[in-house]
């Protein structure tokens, strides 16, 4: 017997062609997030090609201004969760892991994403620990923000991005050192020979999301 409550049946016929193609081209899917005894049901997990395809589509469409994607690269909301203006930024990090052996150098490209956040005025940001920045993903809106006010807050952040670049670059450097340490550990366990270093590029700001305290009536 199949637990019907565990199976999500989805009609994809109304999706944009690009989105449907990212999901394998099917017009209908039956998926589950836990094992079920049915051959026609696809078990989804974080590394499944359907999950990867959908995530890539959402990200790529958000980065392309002509596609009008589901995700947004910027937003401003009011929430009871925050007591002061809090800005969350999504950074894309790029690294080159360089392995040096007697045969020369070999470069390995690596990418990562990082959430960072600060409170207060963008001219004098108070940076939060990474764990606190990640918690902001779960913040729910309690009120919308008029477009003119939202634009004002977003512009205040983008105008100050050049002064934030040294801090963002330091975040990238620190993450790179963590990545290098993990790479060395894996290579050492595999018995590989050589020395390693890591070079990083300035991080790209992919998204800016501002949380304002809810207005008390």
Torsion angles phi and psi, residue 166, rounded to 5: -60, -40
Buried b (16+ CB within 10 A) or exposed e, 8-24: eeeeeeeeeeebbebbe
pTM over 0.75: no
pLDDT at site 44 = 77
Q: Give the list of residues 6+ apart from residue 113 with CB closer than 8 angstroms, or none.
A: 90, 91, 92, 93, 206
pLDDT in tens, the chain (217 residues): 445 567 888 888 777 777 788 778 778 888 888 777 677 787 777 778 888 888 777 777 766 655 566 666 888 999 999 999 999 999 999 999 988 888 888 888 888 999 999 999 999 999 999 999 999 999 999 998 999 999 999 999 999 999 999 999 999 999 999 999 888 888 888 888 888 889 998 999 989 999 999 977 5
pLDDT at site 41 = 82
Tokens of 38: 């049915």
pLDDT at site 215 = 78
How far are the Cα atoms of 91, 99, 101 from residue 104, in angstroms, in the given order? 32, 8, 5
Q: Where are the domains of the chain?
A: 4-63, 74-213
Alpha helices in 64-129 (DSSP H): none
pLDDT at site 80 = 94
Best CA proximity match to 204, nearest among 96, 112, 107: 112
Rounded to whole angstroms, the Cα distance separating 5 from 139 reads: 28
């Amino acid at each position: 017997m199949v637990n019907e409550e565990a199976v999500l049946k989805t009609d994809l016929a109304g999706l944009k062609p690009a989105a449907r193609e990212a999901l394998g081209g099917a017009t209908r899917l039956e998926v589950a997030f836990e094992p079920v005894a049915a051959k026609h049901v696809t078990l989804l997990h974080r590394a499944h090609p359907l999950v990867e395809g959908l995530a890539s589509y959402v990200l790529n469409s958000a980065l392309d201004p002509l596609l009008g994607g589901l995700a947004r690269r910027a937003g401003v909301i009011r929430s009871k969760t925050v007591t002061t203006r809090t800005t969350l930024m999504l950074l894309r990090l790029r690294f080159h892991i360089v392995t040096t052996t007697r045969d020369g150098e070999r470069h390995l490209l690596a990418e990562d994403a990082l959430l960072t956040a600060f409170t207060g005025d963008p001219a004098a940001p108070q940076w939060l620990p990474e764990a606190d920045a990640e918690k902001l993903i779960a913040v729910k809106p309690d009120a919308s923000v008029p477009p003119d006010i939202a634009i004002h807050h977003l512009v205040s952040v983008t105008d100050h991005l050049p002064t934030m670049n040294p801090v963002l670059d330091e975040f990238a450097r620190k993450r790179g050192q963590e990545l290098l340490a993990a790479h060395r550990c894996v290579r050492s366990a595999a018995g590989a020979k050589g020395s390693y270093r890591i070079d990083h590029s300035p991080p790209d700001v992919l998204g800016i999301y501002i949380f304002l305290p809810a207005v008390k009536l």
